[in-house]
Amino acid sequence: MSFRIRVDPIVCDGRGVCAELLPERIELDDWGYPIIDATPVSGVVLEHARRAVGACPVLALRLEQAPRVGVDPLDADATARSATPRGGRRQVWRVRP
């Protein structure tokens, strides 16, 4: 299973901790904000990515499961099938007002 690193540009304040911990995939721009390599991470790099995500002081980084090859991300049926747990029932989360 492979993952992608994502950054929330609104939350990020450009401290650069992520680039220090994961220089293989994260570079900093002229102002210190991360530029993330979009290729999926796995293996040893995934462990380093998890460490970088955990060390972010403002929680701007996250790991997301990379989309499977050959699945259209705009295909609602494929998205629903991939989000369905093993039991076959979808979990619906409702927020009470």
Return the pLDDT at 2. 87
Contacts 24+ apart (CB under 8 A), 52-57: 52/5, 52/17, 52/18, 52/21, 52/22, 52/26, 53/5, 53/18, 55/17, 55/18, 55/21, 56/17, 56/18, 57/15, 57/17
Report pLDDT digits (tens) over 19-50: 999 999 999 999 999 999 999 998 999 999 99
- The structural architecture, per CATH, of the domain 3-83 is 2-Layer Sandwich (3.30)
Return the pLDDT at 63. 94
Return the pLDDT at 79. 47
Residue, of 59 and 81, whose pLDDT is higher: 59
72 pLDDT above the threshold of 90: no
